Structure 1
């Protein structure tokens, strides 16, 4: 191969990459359609700023009284949900039913005991075609479902 052939291939490849970047940027802007990556945190609707949480250093009685805490974050067509709640019989059924009502399909989930009285639940869910909600609406809906199951 000569230098001209190599340059032509390199130019063609750069053009291909530029087109691919435009396609992906267009796809991203279409997929998000107002759903930017965001997070909601807390039992009272306050937003989590990423700083240290005093709830990790609190006594168990105070923590249980301030539960449930729900954190949700969008990433493209998936939602990461982290819930810290009081142990209750059938709580996962309530959470999963609420996610189904929100048109979210669970991809993976993990439930870990945290102390004697609480659970730490992590869920990754995929947005369904009919999904139309915000991060704060998801968090509020899950908090209500958990609180109503007591």
Structure 2
């Protein structure tokens, strides 16, 4: 090989690398992170005339703060944070509900906060059958937790 052909091959290879860099930069710009948060607290109001309460759109009422649920999605990864009241087997129930959504739990962390609340963080990956939006993840988890608490 002469010097001109080596130099020509090197230039061609550099151009290929530059195109690859541009392609990867465009892909990284397209990656977006979605998130949804549902935070709503309910309180029971005891009036002397027969007691009334605020009700959620799901038809549930409560004398306690309901769970605060946040979800974020990036590619095939899902981050879920739940702040809720500590109840027997609540973490196991939440993990089961997450798996019902076609999410595989990769990592989880349950931290007791104060005397009666839990902060639960879950990192999961989407399974093949996963087809929910971030808002649907939050809505489904919230609905399941409400059913668990008020059955």
Q: TM-score, normalised by structure 1?
A: 0.69
- Indicate the residue corresponding to 2:20 in structure 1: 19
Distance across 1 between alignment mates of 2:125 and 2:29? 16
CA displacement 1:38-92 (0-9 Å, x = unmatched): 2111234xxxxxxxxxxxxxxxxxxx93320000000110000000011011111
Q: What residue in structure 1 maps to residue 105 of structure 2?
A: 106
Deviates more, 1:69-78 or 1:2-11: 2-11
Whether the 8 Å contact between 1:28 and 1:76 is mirrored in structure 2 is no
Give the conservation status (yes or no) of the 8 Å contact 1:43–1:143.
no
The structure, 1 or 2, with the larger RCO (C-alpha pairs under 8 Å, 6+ apart) is 1
Identify, as 1 or 2, the structure richer in strand.
2
2:17 partner SS: helix
Greater C-alpha radius of gyration:
2
2:33 is paired with a residue of what secondary structure? coil
Report the alpha carbon displacement of residue 136 of structure 1 after superposing the two structures with TM. 0.8
Unaligned runs of 5+ in 2: 41-62
How far apart in 1 are the matches of 2:140 and 2:115? Answer: 26
- Matched position secondary structure for 1:38: strand
CA RMSD of aligned residues (A): 3.0
**More divergent stretch after superposition (111-120 vs 64-73):** 64-73
SS at structure 1 position matched to 2:123: strand
- Counterpart Cα distance in 1 of 2:72 and 2:93: 20
Q: Which has the higher helix share?
A: 1
SS at match of 2:78: strand
Q: Which residue of 1 aligns with 2:118?
A: 119
Provide the C-alpha distance between the structure 1 equivalents of 2:23 and 2:144, rounded to a whole number of angstroms. Answer: 41
- Cα distance in 1 for partners of 2:65, 2:8 equals 64
Distance 2:80 2:9 in 1: 48
TM-score relative to the length of structure 2: 0.69
Give unmatched runs, 5+ long, in structure 1. Answer: 45-63
